[in-house]
Structure 1
Amino acid sequence: MADSRTDPDSSPPVPRVLRIAVPTPLRRLFDYRPAGRPPVGGWRPGLRVKIPFGRRHLVGIVMECAASSELPAHQLKPITERLDDEPLPADWLWLCQFTARYYQHSLGDTLQHALPGPLRQGRPLEARIRERWQLNTREALALDALGRAPRQRELVQLLAQHRHGMITSAITAQGYTRAQLQGLLDKALITRSSEPLMASEGWSGALLAEPSLPLNREQAVALAALHEGLDRFHPCLLHGVTGSGKTEVYLQLIEGVLGQGRQALVLVPEIGLTPQTLSRFRKRFRAPVVALHSGLTDLERLDAWEAARSGRAPIVIGTRSAIFTPLARPGVIIVDEEHDGSFKQQDGLRYHARDLAMARAHRDGVPILLGSATPSLETLAQARSGRYRHLRLTQRPSRHAPAKLELVDLRGRLRQGGLVPPAIDAIRQALKAEGQVLVFINRRGFSPSLACHQCGWIAECRHCDSRMTLHRQPPRLVCHHCEHQTPQPDACPGCGSADLRPLGAGTERTEETLTTLFPDVPVYRIDRDSTRRKEAFDQLLTEIRRGEPSLLVGTQMLAKGHHLPHVTLVVVVNADAGLYASDFRALEQSAQLLVQVAGRAGRADRAGRVLVQTLHPDDPNLRLLADDGYDALAYQMLEERRVAGLPPYRYLALTRFEATREEDARQMAEAAGDAVREWLATRQLPVHCLGPVPAPMERRQNRYHLQLMLSSEKRSALHEAGAWLVGWLESSATRRVRWSLDIDPMTLS
């Protein structure tokens, strides 16, 4: 029997079987029969099709074309509809396949995650169209025909001011109507054309909208080194102190890339940084700059995605999911604040955008630049080994060096809203000098807990092993792990006493205290609660950047990458939270956060000061950070990790189990541990299996959580063991137990 038949209308053979990735958790492809007219060029991987799947019809992606299937031909269902004539981009397909393979995830689910929503629903892969109206210059002087149509005459005069014409929305925003446009069109005074919604309007020739800033010696050396590698895979770490001008290096590097006719992809960790970065890039370049982040609508994301795919968008800026944006002519990938934990997806497809960016740059043969003032230990180890080029920026453009951390002893001192008298005095002095003060407290709400002063009762979440946080705006108790809420009680449910007291301080309590202490100074609280409303965060930043003396009370969302030129004092309310946590990354992350927060001070023409309140001023790690800086502490932590056999010197894979009954989760985790240990013994792979053990928070959202850890010095051995364990779990796990595998986990919680 022949393996294939020939389509009478085209030369490519028509396969008998299409192997399709379906958006399900199942780690396999599904076989279908082709149906209908084949696409021009034949069936190829990357084409989207509609298929029957159970009782539903889903959008799948062809991954393989085969001559036969393990199933009999009569059992193969035909596809319902072919959606594309051209396949999805090859670089995008490769990245999705690599991601699914590396992170041991379903390919169909990975493809679903990486596609914009409308494409997942079957929308055509094409740009949305808008209309552009231009004056017909040959008829421009024939205005006598408009004597009785003054609004049409005004519209002609408006269009005469725009050499490239105007789009419909810009015209209607001026108060004109489509009827008036149609009237001018009928009189042949204007012309109408169609163009993609995200078109490169007004970009002709000149690349820069404003001149580049002069570079200091270190910036110039770094930029020259980066230009040396523009034609190849060239991984670099740009290790610059806060405020040292890393963004200017990015901008001038991108200028060189765009000058070669190629595109740049810039990843930022937080959606809050995207508007700031977009604004700066759009001021510098005439070339179109598009954004990709979770704050866009599905259609806006599709427009940006398609503009990047087609090459109409030379610069793409986005958060972690933007790593899946196809580029027609990739030229450079930049990962700003590469150390930030936001680049790791913590549920579903648990990928790390920084690591995928490295794999993508290697595949495309383009340079990749990782920027940070506090590099992750993984990146720092690669730079020390010589695998990444290590470029340093030690100076700020201003004459002031980054402020050193001053440790303030909390022991035995009365606190107001978490602040001790020396900190309050420093705040008063900074405000008197007309500076702004950032008070950093990484706890939302009024108080981390509510307790009875008579019997010791503490408000706890009935769904989690955690305490409820007291909020005052409005009054309620909230669990920050499961978001369960209850009204604030009037009396203790244990003894009936009305003497209920908040313990500790959160952003609301610190804000209330500062408002009382400094009634004539505006206080801006910036946390997830105060910025829920769309545009609220940007409005607050606009107020702050006016430069008037003010107090800023914020969580880490204010500490990451924001340029606050008028802040002269930073007060960290409590630096101890991350020093003694059980997670081995806690000290690294706490040190990074402290240095990033401190970097908000003294970024302009006035020196900055940083006060760090602590109950452990003699802690050797905290003292090393304060005296010698982040680099000294990071190199010490690297040595400790090497001795302890922890990343980056070993690779980890964490399997999480959860169930409503503790016994169900424990039985499955123990069975999985026994099975993988037995398999490892037979294969003699250099992989250690640890656990199962309860998660740091064992009960969360009324479910019990356990963990099983695989560890190895060889990445290949770890992945082989992880793949075997996934297969065993798929065949053995019950519906009562949920499980997930996290390759290279960033947290053990």
Structure 2
Amino acid sequence: MPVLRVALDLPLHRLFDYVVASASAQDVGLRVRVPFGRGEKLGVIVEVASDSDWPLEQLKPAGEILRDLPPLPEDFFRLCRFASAYYQAALGEVILQALPGGLKRLDPPDRRNARAGKLPPPIEPPQLTDEQARAVDAVDPAAGFTASLLHGVTGSGKTEVYLRLIDKALALGKQVLLLVPEINLTPQLEGRVRARFPEAGVVSLHSELAEAARERNWRAAFSGQANIVLGTRLAIFTPMPRLGLIVVDEEHDPSFKQQDGMRYSARDVAVFRAHQLGIPVLLGSATPSLESWANAQGKRYRLLSLHERANPEATLPTVKILDTRRIALKEGVSEPLIAAIQARLERGEQSLVFLNRRGYAPVLACPACGWVSRCKRCAANLVLHLADRRLRCHHCGFEHGIPKACLTCGNQDIHPFGRGTQRLESWLQEQFPEARILRVDRDAVKSRKQWEAVLERIHGGEADILVGTQMLAKGHDFPKLTLVGILGADSALFAADCRAPERLFAQLMQVAGRAGRAELKGEVLIQTQYPDHPLFAAVVAHDYAGFAAGQLKEREQAGFPPYAFQAMLRAEAPQMADAIAFLKAAAALPEVAGHANVLIYDPVPMRMARLANLERGQLLAESPSRPALQAFLPQWREAIAGLKAPSKLRWHIEVDPLEF
């Protein structure tokens, strides 16, 4: 009797055996209904075997094998096995996570065909610059695997390079996967792709799609009906039978790293998948990650550069540093920035005031006794949202109404301290009563439809001053935007995380790049108390290469990535003592002593030590050798799984962590 080896969506590093009356090797990759516990689950057949490690009479019979889809292909399983092994995740979690929700349900909804939309009129491609033409010629979808890093300044036309390469791949009968870090970047990019390739079959895959739409688009990619897939990080696992090119836009963005479940990097998986299939992968960014830049400098990636803006009338914006030690501030805004905004209003141009802190104020506090609005569930403050009269935690979502008096001493004179985008918007409206001010953050824009409406207002000239967070920092082209003012940039300069300067530089360069993208000249004003910091000198000079060289030198001296390879063991429990004791036990396991090339650090509380009523600790494992670390982790993980731990303690291993 055949035995089905089935992967289930469980955090267990094992497959489950079931007997079946009839099955063959052709059934590998099909979904199957199987009994599990007192209920039933949907799994994926990974192997059809003739025997089992368990007595056949002890195995439960499998249920119905679903044949509404062709089997998942072998290259999909190879990709999932790599991700499972590298990121220390259960194979079942990887496989099932890659499927849309409707295909994992025991009671799938009725599937309806999508209504055919009106095709947009075709758009004539623009003339390429010499640099763009060289970049397009350097990537050949017919030449096998190559990994290329496209480093182009903001406005240099990286998207046009992507579109030309997509055209080359389509001409060869291939499919293309285009990854973007955030859903907010998909509408504008999807519009350009559809307009350029109106009959190519373009679908998007991201979490904001309704379940039926996501399954429909996934099926179109899997069947080969869709030639272009535009998606966020999970789309990297989408099976595509004729995949011939992978493009990762804004490859530096931390949104490509999954932070729960299987903690993988979609950018790194993209490179592995391209190598596995023998196809080119292109990573694009104005501010590449230091890991990718080091790979390019070491010739592992081919470096393609765009030094000038694609629009011959556009130039890089002038960047000026405002020393706030010597300039008076009004609600955090300096007089030179106020004057610059006024000048743009008089010329009918747009301004962006960037503050990466939403809400009205970071905290509500009592000056009499020192009480502050702290979250009861997290080691964080509740942020004041004055518009809807709420105090809200941006980490766990806990919220409640604004108290009328101090909860400790009863003082009614409690004040907001610091400022967020809501407070900044209110103050700017007082300063410029005739201006049309538009706030763009996750409180004001919560859905794709709202985002598209906001973009339409900006492009239509219905906003004079934009107040925004990082939602506006990258990927957007506003021709009338000529001024960017940046507030609150100093907090990241002295963070404990070694990646903080890299993230700050990328953020500053990306948001600065929104200014002057057409024939109008752009200007960027950065307020800081540290005008002599070398990071700001690099921003003023638009010198990514110089900044990256300095950062890589510091990383090499300190033994930080990319010159070391890391994995983080994290534990969370109701009591910090339990989490730390578990981590200490993991560090003392005999398996640790057998790997001299792996260094285990002492366990410490996480920076956000308490989240959603759980105390969190972490333990860093580090090695100068990636193979040595990868050889150690499976043995360590298996030994950790055998440790006795409190029932409510949860743990996981994150490979190549970005957060500390």
TM-score bracket for the superposition, by shorter chain length: over 0.9
* 1:50 counterpart = 2:33: yes
User: In 1, distance between residues paired with 2:215 and 2:395?
Assistant: 32
Q: TM-score, normalised by structure 2?
A: 0.96
1:102 matched to 2:13: no
Which shifted more, 690-699 or 91-100? 91-100
- 2:262 is the alignment partner of 1:349: yes
Where does 1:300-449 land on structure 2 (aligned, <5 Å)? 300-398=213-311, 399-411=313-325, 413-449=327-363
> Does the aligned pair in 1 maintain the 2:457–2:463 contact within 8 Å?
no
Distance 1:95 1:209 in 2: 36
Structure with the greater alpha carbon radius of gyration: 1
The 1:202–1:468 alpha-carbon spacing in structure 2 relative to 1, beyond 3 Å, is closer
Distance between the aligned counterparts of 2:497 and 2:177, measured in 1?
32
Is the Cα contact below 8 Å between 1:436 and 1:548 reproduced in 2? no
For the pair 1:599 / 2:599, whether they are aligned, the reply is: no
Q: 1:235 aligns with which of 144, 147, 171?
A: 147
- C-alpha displacement of 1:43: 4.8
Q: 1:665 to 1:585 in 2, by over 3 A?
A: same
Deviation at 1:715, TM superposition (A): 1.3
Q: Tell me, yes or no, if the aligned pair for 1:83 and 1:122 is still in contact at 8 Å.
A: no
Counterparts of 2:295 and 2:638, CA distance in 1: 32
Q: Pairwise CA RMSD of aligned residues? A: 2.0
> Once structures 1 and 2 are overlaid, which stretch shifts more, 729-738 or 432-441?
729-738
Q: How does 1:114-125 map to 2 (within 5 A)?
A: 114-122=98-106
Change (3 A) 1:685 1:16: farther
1:28 maps to which residue?
A: 14
Give the whole-Å Cα distance in 2 for the aligned partners of 1:219 and 1:621.
28
| Cα distance between partner residues in 2 of 1:680 and 1:199 | 58
Measured in 2, the distance between the counterparts of 1:66 and 1:288 equals: 39
Q: Which residue of 1 aligns with 2:123?
A: 210
Deviation of 1:381 after TM superposition, in Å, equals 0.5
Amino acid at match of 1:301: R
Compared with structure 1, are the counterparts of its residues 698 and 431 closer, same or farther at alpha carbon in structure 2 (3 Å cutoff)? same
Segment of structure 1 superposing worse, 638-647 or 76-85: 76-85
Distance 1:568 1:202, change over 3 A: closer
| Amino acid of the structure 1 residue aligned with 2:377 | H
> Any idea what SS the aligned residue of 1:432 has?
helix
Map of 2:579 onto structure 1: 665
In 2: Cα distance, 1:128 partner to 1:260 partner = 32
2 CA distance for matches of 1:325 and 1:687?
A: 34
Answer with 301-310 or 491-500: which moved more. Answer: 491-500
SS in 2 for 1:328: coil
Report if aligned partners of 2:569, 2:620 keep a CA contact under 8 Å in 1.
yes
Counterpart CA distance in 2 for 1:69 and 1:553 is: 62
- 2: CA distance between counterparts of 1:253 and 1:627? 31
Offset at 1:20? 1.2
Distance across 2 between alignment mates of 1:381 and 1:397: 26
Distance 1:622 1:560 in 2: 19
Cα distance between partner residues in 2 of 1:387 and 1:666: 40
Displacement after TM superposition at 1:339 (Å): 0.4
CA contact (8 A) 2:598 2:622 kept: yes
Deviation at 1:412, TM superposition (A): 5.5
After superposition, residues 36-75 of structure 1 pair within 5 angstroms as 37-38=22-23, 42-75=25-58
Aligned to 1:471: 385
- What is the CA distance between 1:55 and its match in structure 2? 0.7
Question: How far is 1:117 from its partner?
Answer: 1.0
Task: For structure 1, list consecutive stretches of 5 or more residues without a partner in the other structure.
Answer: 1-14, 131-196
Post-superposition offset of 1:455: 3.1
The Cα shift of 1:554 comes to 0.6
Name 1:459's counterpart in structure 2: 373
Q: CA deviation at 1:413?
A: 4.2
What residue is the counterpart of 1:522 in the other structure? 436
Give 1:274's aligned residue.
Answer: 186
CA displacement, residues 50-77 of structure 1 (integer Å, 9 cap, x when unaligned): 1111111111111122222121121011
Deviations, residues 247-299 of structure 1 (Å, cap 9, x unaligned): 11111111111011111110011101111111001111122111111111111
Aligned equivalents of 2:463 and 2:609: distance in 1? 45
Contact 1:404-1:610 within 8 A present in 2 as well: yes
TM-score by length of 1: 0.85
Matched residues in 2 for 1:500 and 1:482: separation? 24
Q: Give the structure 1 partner of residue 207 of structure 2.
A: 294
Separation in 2, partners of 1:740, 1:733: 15
Give the deviation of 1:496 after TM superposition: 2.7
One-letter identity of the residue aligned with 2:357 = R
Match of 1:493 in 2: 407
Judge which range, 558-567 or 385-394, deviates more: 558-567
Residues 406 and 84 of structure 1, relative CA distance in 2, 3 Å threshold: same
Question: Given that residues 184 and 448 in structure 2 are in contact (C-alpha distance below 8 angstroms), is that contact kept between their aligned partners in structure 1?
Answer: no
Give the counterpart of 1:711 among 605, 622, 634.
Answer: 622
Q: Paired residue for 1:250, among 146, 152, 162?
A: 162
Separation in structure 1 between the aligned mates of residue 649 and residue 254 of structure 2, nearest angstrom: 28
The residue correspondences of 1:644-659 to structure 2 (distance < 5 A) are 644-659=558-573
| Residues 21 and 60 in structure 1, CA contact (< 8 A), matched pair in contact too | yes
Which of 596, 599, 613 aligns to 1:702? It is 613
CA distance in 1, matches of 2:282, 2:367: 54
Distance change (3 Å), C-alpha of 1:61 and 1:591: same
When residues 263 and 409 of structure 1 are mapped into structure 2, their CA distance, relative to the original with a 3 A threshold, is same
SS at match of 1:275: helix
CA distance in 2, matches of 1:364, 1:716: 22
Q: Quick one: which amino acid aligns to residue 640 of structure 2? A: L
Deviation of 1:546 (Å): 1.0
Would you say the 8 A contact 1:89–1:309 is kept in 2? no
Aligned partner of residue 309 in structure 1, secondary structure: helix
Please say which of residues 616-625 and 213-222 is displaced more in the overlay. 616-625
CA gap of 1:324–1:533, structure 2 versus 1, over 3 A, is closer
Query: Is the contact between residue 170 and residue 227 of structure 2 (CA under 8 Å) also seen in structure 1?
Result: yes
Query: What are the superposed Cα offsets for residues 163-209 of structure 1, whole Å, 9 maximum, x if unpaired?
Result: xxxxxxxxxxxxxxxxxxxxxxxxxxxxxxxxxx5889989xxxx92
SS at 1:486 equivalent: strand
Give the Cα–Cα distance (whole angstroms) in 2 for the partners of residues 531 and 210 of structure 1.
29
Please say if residues 385 and 391 of structure 2, whose CA atoms lie closer than 8 Å, have aligned partners that are also in contact.
Answer: yes
Asked if structure 2 preserves the Cα contact closer than 8 Å seen for 1:470 and 1:502, the reply is: yes
Q: Deviations over 1:226-248 (max 9, x none)?
A: 13x53200110110000000111
Paired AA for residue 581 in structure 2: Q
* 1:741 is the counterpart of 2:649: no
Offset, 1:371 = 0.5
Aligned-partner SS, 1:281 = helix
Query: Hey, what's the Cα distance between the residues in 2 that align with 1:202 and 1:467?
Result: 49
Asked if 1 retains the 8 angstrom alpha-carbon contact of 2:11 and 2:93, the reply is yes
Q: 1:17–1:31: 8 Å Cα contact kept in structure 2?
A: yes
Q: In the alignment, what sits opposite 1:539?
A: 453
**Distance 1:628-1:602 versus aligned 2 partners, 3 A rule:** closer
CA distance in 2 between partners of 1:469 and 1:739 (Å): 29
Gaps of 5+ in 2: none
Q: Map 1:140-289 onto structure 2 (within 5 A).
A: 197=114, 209-227=122-140, 230-286=142-198, 287-289=200-202
Q: Which moved more, 1:89-98 or 1:644-653?
A: 89-98
Q: Return 63-72 or 601-610, whichever deviates more.
A: 63-72
Q: Which amino acid aligns with 1:358?
A: V
| Alpha-carbon distance in structure 1 between the residues aligned to 2:374 and 2:218 | 45
